[in-house]
A and B are shown apart, each in its own frame.
Chain A
Amino acid sequence: MLTESEPAFRKPLLKTPFHERARAESQVDSFIPWSGYTTVDVFTSVEQEYFAIRNAASLYDLTPMVKYRVSGVDAVRYLDRLMTRNIARLKPGRVAYTVWCNDSGHLIDDGTVFRLSESEFRLCTAERQLDWLLDAAIGFDVCVSEVTHEIAALALQGPTSCAVLRDAGIAGIERLRPFELAAFTWPGLPPACAEVLISRTGFTGDLGYELWMAPTVAEQVWDALIESGRTRGIRPVGSKALNIARIEAGFLMPNVDFVNAEHTLRVGTARTPIELGLEWLIDFEKGHFTGRRALIGQRRHGAPRRLVGLDVEGTKPAVNALIYAERAGKHAVGSVTSAAWAPTSKRNVAFAMLDAPHFALGDTVWAEIYFSRELVWERRMARARIVERAFFNPERRRATPPRDH
């Protein structure tokens, strides 16, 4: 937490409330900075952790996720003018994935909006952006404050996650629907902070939950989950394994698949939601929102590029590959932003930003892949088919109540 005994300049990274537990579980001591915190990249091995996410249950510390509290009588109007989605239609107790744009319709960030009550929301974002959120508040009776440090957060994801929670004594968890949130009383915690907010959300594209609690009870919740998940294969996971899962699920990563438009310096590197294939998040009919006029223009004239899914031939991940229209590799039409071998769908998948008109579903393009065989670098032109981005989308993600695994 913020109160460190050492001067901040010596150890500028903060420790999350789960840090001591994570350090104890870490076998390879691989930590990386994330939004000012030190967090685990790999606990044991990426493969082991990935399969915990897909086949059992995984614990991921997402405390560094930036969180804002938005409240006030104008909170709905404020968020509707900020976001592309219709927030007025989001009911209390529901969560929405959404994006927000600058005036030119270019993406600033994506994130989730939790409607905690009629007039109180929580906004989870990848990056800090209080300046933008406060500028957005000009003319609205709304209070925006950052609460990242006040809330400890854990993602519990995987097919056995519901059973793990149920066995930890969370009565009624199986009734929670996707994108729903509710407060539960956690057994054994001091009454003052026994309430843990649980949402059925996540970054893995699978059955899973995110738990939001007071930092003071973080370790007790962690311990309880590890205990109740012991027979259900629970395992803490790091960012590397999660990254494979999120690519397989078709989810975007800020600063990997797009750059915050307010941070871009070069012309043509900012991205609109239409270009990112997120048009379904835009409600053009709800009234004005920032970027709407620019996006209407792009919808009318057509997007100059589009982020697509690629199903790449072979097993070599097309990391950073340039994409060509033909095998000869003369006309570059775009490049890969994210790529991975997806173990569960057993496909070599990638996201690529492709120039118009080369982004039609079903078309074939060619990826120029470089890989090393014992330090000898080779180049391969791999055939790639343009497909929907969600490579993994199981029924259990949606089923309520979830089947027991």
Chain B
Amino acid sequence: MSEPPAARADVAVRAPLAGRYDSIVIGAGHNGLVCATYLARGGRTVLVLEAAGEVGGASVTREFAPGFQVSACAHLLHLMPAALIEELELGKFGLALAAQRMPTTALVPGSVPLRIDPLDAAALGAHSPADVAALGGYQDRMGRYARALHTLLETVPPRLSAASWAERLAFARLAWPLRKLGRARLRELLRIGAMSVWDLLDETFDSEWLKGALALDAVLGTNFGPRSPGTVFTLLHRMAASGTGAPTLAQPAGGLGSLTQSLARAALAAGAAIRTGAEVERILVRNDRAAGVVLRSGEQIAAASVISSADPKTTFLGLLGSEYLDIGFVRRVTHLRTRGLAAKLHLALAEQPRFTGLAPEALSGRLLLAPSLEYIERAFNHSKYREFSAAPILEITVPTVNDPTLAPPGKHVLSAVVQYVPYDLAAGADEDRKALTDAMLRALEASAPGIAASIEDLEVLTPRDIERQFRVRGGHWHHAELALDQFLWTRPVAGAAQYRAPVAGLYLCGAGCHPGGGVMGLAGRNAARQVAREAA
């Protein structure tokens, strides 16, 4: 990993006047850094405070075993719009991609893996000829909807009262791409928009393998199973973020940490200051206005505005305190669904894993273990009752295939998202972790015989670990469940949907805000826009 940028002295940090910054950004995760960069570019004095010893938040590369590094939480870059990366000139600041347009392959127990992106038409055709044709039409349709929804993600939700002309215009801008879909397509979007992905896929395809693989992207990181209503929305949301409507899976060279390292350099170059190891204990309020922060060390730092990239519960209930908020608002924050359901598995491997029947180039992409809708739904069932499934869902990458620098020569790292490991596991933590690890390894061994024998070291992060290590209450990767009822005007909660807290001068810019997390960066940019608009 590169030098921690906070220690670099080759950039001029804009000094605050009389010790008071225009803005303090809490948290140097990707959203905090994006927000800080835009604010600093707007000419404001900005200080970013990070509790951890390094920048990055949940987008960090970490050594988890001697000589083995891994993207510790998020492990793929696929939601951040290319336009945002360009605007921030992250290439100039050190972001390089070890792989892009990575393939996706479905692992099929007892059969040959099926590459679904780019589609192995021959393989799918041998299994279900009708699905080959159906897939093209499906991707075209979903791509159009996703592109139409993209504007939604880039917009600060206008207030429902639409008191100003600017807000009325914003409404029109939101509606226009939908209107442009035309009557038939809009009607179809209205039909499927709140539907379950199970129903949509079931009416479109025959192949269980294909349906399982396509459904996984709708439920990854959520508290939903394929049968849950609203999962077509979560799928479209994921497709909409990149702005192209097509999958753009990428792997930064050096892991996700190099993304936030480049963001930190962009922020520094724009004139922002970054302090790591500076844990904010509370937000200072004077005369019903955010006036700065108090660090855990007792140090007070004054600022005209405070922008928190921490999750809404941490920000409002932890850093601010309910005494500065109205009772109904606190109730809404408390009711925010933040139960994490995705775990991480990191393996240090002595050799490259061999998945049965898998073409070697497929290992450079992601492998999905979700062989049918029912398999996913059954795994989900366990999570409802605070258990994990013995047949887990895995999104597997072997980042060392594209980027050998992450492991000692010849050795490999496997990084997998394990879906449906609930935050609130019923049994005791220790025996759970052992059983959970065994279940994951059994599933891997079935697809890649011999992999268990090549494990030199391993790390399992449950949502509870993620909560503790990355300071996200509930350990949810969107900070708050991404669902139709926690979106736009009700994200995170009514009364804070415009990135603005009820306390003047306090803003949110994290994944808990519209349009959500997943290393997208749009919450940070939208928030910066709102801060700049309001604070003269």
**A77 and B327 contacting across the interface, CB-CB below 8 Å:** no
Interface string of B454-465 (1 = CB under 8 A from A): 000000000000
- From residue B332, how far is it (CB to closest CB) to chain A in Å? 9
User: Do the beta carbons of A290 and B323 come within 8 Å of each other?
Assistant: no
Instruction: Tell me which residues across on chain A come within 8 A of B288, comparing CB atoms.
Output: 288, 292-293
Task: Tell me if B334 is interfacial: C-beta within 8 Å of chain A.
Answer: yes
Residues B322 and A291 in contact, CB atoms below 8 Å apart: no
Question: Which residue on chain A has the smallest CB distance to residue B287?
Answer: A287
Q: At the interface, yes or no: B502 with Cβ under 8 Å from chain A?
A: yes
A376 at the binding interface (Cβ < 8 Å): no
B residues 191-219 near A (Cβ < 8 Å) are none
**Least Cβ distance of B333 to chain A in Å?**
9
Q: Are A136 and B327 in contact (CB under 8 A)?
A: yes
Is residue B329 contacting chain A, with contact meaning CB distance below 8 A?
yes
Contacts of B325 in A (CB 8 A): 288
Q: Is the CB of A103 within 8 A of B328?
A: yes
A-side contacts of B137, CB under 8 Å: none
Determine if B450 is an interface residue (Cβ-Cβ < 8 Å). Answer: no
| Interface status of A132 (Cβ within 8 A of chain B) | yes
- The docked-state distance in angstroms from the alpha carbon of A81 to that of B325 is 9
Give Cα distance in the complex from A81 to B323, angstroms. Answer: 6
Q: Contacts A103-B495, A139-B321 known; A291 to B331 CB distance under 8 Å?
A: no
Q: In this assembly, does B317 line the interface, its C-beta being within 8 Å of a C-beta of chain A? A: yes
A243 contacts partner chain B, Cβ-Cβ < 8 Å:
no
Could you tell me the distance in whole angstroms from the C-beta of B112 to the nearest C-beta in chain A? 54
Complex contact B329–A77 (CB within 8 A) = no
**Counting CB contacts under 8 A, is B326 at the interface?**
yes
Cβ-defined partner of A103 (8 Å) among B321, B323, B324, B329: B329
Does B330 interact with chain A (Cβ within 8 Å)? yes
A178 to B323, CA, bound (A): 31
Smallest Cβ distance from B13 to chain A, in angstroms? 35
Q: A378 within 8 Å of B by Cβ?
A: no
- Contact status of A138 and B334, CB under 8 A, knowing A103-B495, A288-B288, A293-B288: yes
Query: A140, B322: Cβ atoms under 8 Å?
Result: yes
A138 and B322 in contact (CB under 8 A), knowing A103-B495, A293-B288, A293-B502?
yes
Bound Cα distance from A138 to B329, whole angstroms: 11
Most buried by B among A103, A136, A293: A103
Q: Which partner residue on chain B sits nearest A135 by CB separation?
A: B331
Question: For the complex, what is the distance from the CA of A140 to the CA of B317, rounded to whole Å?
Answer: 11
Q: Which residues of the partner chain A approach B330 to less than 8 Å between Cβ atoms?
A: 135, 138-139
- Return the CB mask of A84-103 against B: 1 if under 8 Å, else 0: 00000000000000000011
We find that the number of chain B residues with CB closer than 8 angstroms to chain A is: 16
Shortest Cβ distance from A68 into chain B, in angstroms?
15
Partner of A139, one of B322, B326, B495, B502: B322
Instruction: Give the residues from 100 to 145 in chain A that come closer than 8 angstroms, CB to CB, to chain B.
Output: 102-103, 132, 135-136, 138-140
Q: A82 at interface (Cβ–Cβ under 8 A)?
A: yes
Task: Give the most central of A132, A138, A287: most B CB within 10 Å.
Answer: A138
Separation of A257 and B324 alpha carbons in the complex (Å): 30
- Count: A-B pairs, CB below 8 Å: 46
Measured between alpha carbons, how far is A291 from B323 in the docked complex, in Å? Answer: 12
Q: How far is the CB of B126 from chain A (nearest CB, A)?
A: 58
B335's nearest neighbour on chain A, judged by CB, is A135
- The CA of A288 and the CA of B330, in the complex, are separated in Å by 14
Chain A residues with Cβ under 8 A from B329's Cβ? 103
Residue of B nearest to A136 (CB): B327
Inter-chain contact B502/A290, CB cutoff 8 Å: no
- B490-517 near A? 1/0 per residue, CB < 8 Å: 0000010000001000000000000000
Q: Check B326 against A103 for contact (C-beta < 8 Å).
A: yes
State which residues 322-351 of B face A: CB under 8 Å. 322-331, 334
Q: Could you tell me the distance between the alpha carbons of A132 and B326 in the complex, rounded to whole angstroms?
A: 11
The answer to whether A132 and B323 have CB atoms under 8 Å apart is: no
Beta-carbon contact of B323 and A139 below 8 Å = yes
B321 (CB) vs chain A CBs: closest residue = A139
Report the bound CA distance from A126 to B325 in whole Å: 25
A278-291 CB contact bits vs B (8 Å, 1 = yes)? 00000000011011
Q: Please tell me if the beta carbons of A77 and B328 are within 8 angstroms of each other in the complex.
A: no
Measured in the bound complex, the distance between the Cα atoms of B326 and A82 in whole Å is: 8
| B326 neighbours in A (Cβ, 8 Å) | 102-103, 290-293
How many Å lie between the Cα of A139 and that of B330 in the bound state?
9
Residue among B324, B329, B330, B334 with most chain A CB within 10 A: B330
Contacts of B323 in A (CB 8 A): 77, 81, 139-140, 287-288
Q: How far is the CA of A81 from the CA of B326 in the complex (A)?
A: 8
| Distance in angstroms between the alpha carbons of A288 and B501 in the assembled complex | 14
Q: What sequence of 0s and 1s flags, for each residue 292-309 of chain A, a beta carbon within 8 Å of any chain B beta carbon?
A: 110000000000000000
Residue in A77, A139, A291, A292 whose Cβ sees the most chain B Cβ within 10 Å: A139
Q: Shortest distance in angstroms between B492's beta carbon and chain A's nearest beta carbon?
A: 16
Q: Name the residue on B nearest A100 (C-beta).
A: B327
Which residues does chain B contribute within 8 Å of A292, judged by CB atoms? Answer: 288, 326
**Least Cβ–Cβ distance between A331 and chain B, in angstroms:** 29
Q: Is the CB of B327 within 8 A of A139?
A: no
* A140 vs B321: C-alpha distance when bound (angstroms): 9
CA distance in complex: A140, B324 (Å) = 12
Residue of A nearest to B495 (CB): A103
Q: A139 to B329: give the CA distance in the assembly, Å.
A: 13
Instruction: Return A286 CB to nearest CB of chain B, in Å.
Output: 12
Contacts of A140 in B (CB 8 A): 322-323
Name the A residues within 8 Å of B322 (CB-CB).
81, 138-140
Question: Are A139 and B331 within 8 A (Cβ)?
Answer: no
* Distance in angstroms between the alpha carbons of A274 and B328 in the assembled complex: 20
Shortest C-beta distance, B225 to chain A (Å), equals 31
| Closest-CB distance, A264 to chain B (whole angstroms) | 14
> What is the minimal beta-carbon distance from A137 to any residue of chain B, in angstroms?
9
Which residues does chain B contribute within 8 Å of A291, judged by CB atoms?
326
Closest chain B residue, CB of each to CB of A77: B323
As a 0/1 sequence over residues 409 to 437 of chain B, the CB contacts with chain A under 8 angstroms (1 = contact) are 00000000000000000000000000000
A290, B331: Cα distance in complex, Å? 12
Q: How far is the CB of A136 from chain B (nearest CB, A)?
A: 5
Which B residues lie within 8 Å of A138 (CB)? 317, 322, 330-331, 334
Q: Please list the 4 inter-chain residue pairs (A to B) with the smallest Cβ-Cβ separation, ordered nearest first.
A: A139-B322, A103-B326, A103-B328, A290-B326
Residues of A in contact with B (beta carbons under 8 Å apart) = 77, 81-82, 102-103, 132, 135-136, 138-140, 287-288, 290-293
Q: A102-B327, A103-B329, A293-B502 are in contact. List 4 more A-B contacts (CB 8 A).
A: A103-B327, A103-B328, A138-B322, A288-B324
- Interface set of B (CB-CB < 8 Å, partner A): 288, 317, 321-331, 334, 495, 502
22 contacts between A and B (CB under 8 A): A77-B323, A81-B322, A81-B327, A103-B326, A103-B327, A103-B329, A135-B327, A135-B328, A135-B330, A135-B334, A136-B327, A138-B317, A138-B322, A138-B330, A139-B322, A139-B330, A140-B322, A140-B323, A287-B323, A288-B323, A291-B326, A293-B326
